[in-house]
Structure 1
């Protein structure tokens, strides 16, 4: 029996090099199709993707939304979900499709096709758990080309307890020590009726898949806070409209003293301004020897070499 094919859909607003790094990495893993929806026109990235036989690229300009017969949502999250479902329902040319972001990279320990092939026929969707990049400690950096990533327990109670131990100052307010999601992303079978893809889940009709499988041999490498300059550059947008926006919940099963990310960062800024944010980043997001030791004690330290420049040069040699 032939192995199942897999592909990705992503709605992206990013620099050309970041877009092509994302595409090249997943082509290198064996993606059969990459469906890239450019949230902002990028002629250079469009040309490079259009020329690749395994990439399909769509510019989400005013004409696109008019052809869809829909108004362009103001927030990027519903645009992502709408584009992912649009792709899923319009012949994605693969057996399994996942929606991930431009700063997320699948990292399978065994071939992804084989992992998907091993799933029971009754499995409708399969989750990939995330690991989050940490900034290098200048005094003790990783090997050249490598990045330290942190993981967390998939079990809520264990995750809460471990987070308090690993991050003693801020752990009460953090979900697994992550600044971004701990839910990960999902692959969904593409031959199922009435299906849709949201950011973190597959839906069938109006019901979320209650029992997705987990691809235990794959992690989702999330470059959410890979260094201080990039995190600081994205911080204000995330605080106002993104993953730290007001209205999101604090960590599950946390105490009454727990703050949401929005409340925590707002409080830190009000008390000590930029210096407080830097102190937070140094303790939570920088791979110091002490933090690495605490993560390793719980099995949550990962050393990964994505090697994105080499992959981009291989798949898009005219755009090095």
Structure 2
């Protein structure tokens, strides 16, 4: 399978109020992210209900999944983030995603309204493995 260079996604492990979760998702959808892989670090049925019906958002409630799949929940958020990133990489491969960005729920990528993040990523040389946004 050949990756489409303009297809990009966001992965995040989130523990935040519902309104913040929804704002986070809205920000990245407005930037035309191809997919959002959101891992709720604490159950939020209201946020999950709003997000899970969107075709470009994959929501995972990690509280029960960690216990079932791994037998235990990693103690630190950093370890849970790493587990979630590994899972998101698998999702990204399935979804033909060329770029996967990790953002905390309080980190927002801002771009001019005319900017297309995916097309900017697509213009990077094929040997570029990492892109870091600058302020």
| TM-score relative to the length of structure 1 | 0.38
Aligned partner of 1:73 in structure 2 is 74
C-alpha distance in 2, partners of 1:12/1:3?
Answer: 27
Determine whether 1:118 maps to 2:126.
Answer: no
Label 1:127 to 1:68 Cα distance change in 2 as closer, same or farther (>3 A): farther
Bigger Rg, structure 1 or 2: 1
Q: Distance in 2 between matches of 1:92 and 1:77?
A: 24
Instruction: State the partner residue of 2:107.
Output: 104
Q: Distance in 1 between matches of 2:94 and 2:41?
A: 19
The offset of 1:43, in angstroms, is 0.4
Shift of 1:92: 5.4
TM-score (norm 2): 0.86
Q: Which runs of 5+ in 1 are unaligned?
A: 130-218, 220-320
CA RMSD of aligned residues (A): 1.7
Choose between structure 1 and 2 for higher RCO, CA contacts under 8 A separated by at least 6 residues.
Answer: 2
Partner of residue 23 from structure 1, selected from 11, 25, 28: 25
| Residue of structure 2 equivalent to 1:32 | 34
Map residues 284-295 of structure 1 onto 2, 5 A cutoff: none
Partner of 1:5: 7
Cross-structure match for 1:47: 49
Question: Distance in 1 between the 2:85 and 2:103 partners?
Answer: 9
For residue 116 of structure 1, report the CA deviation from its aligned partner.
Answer: 0.6
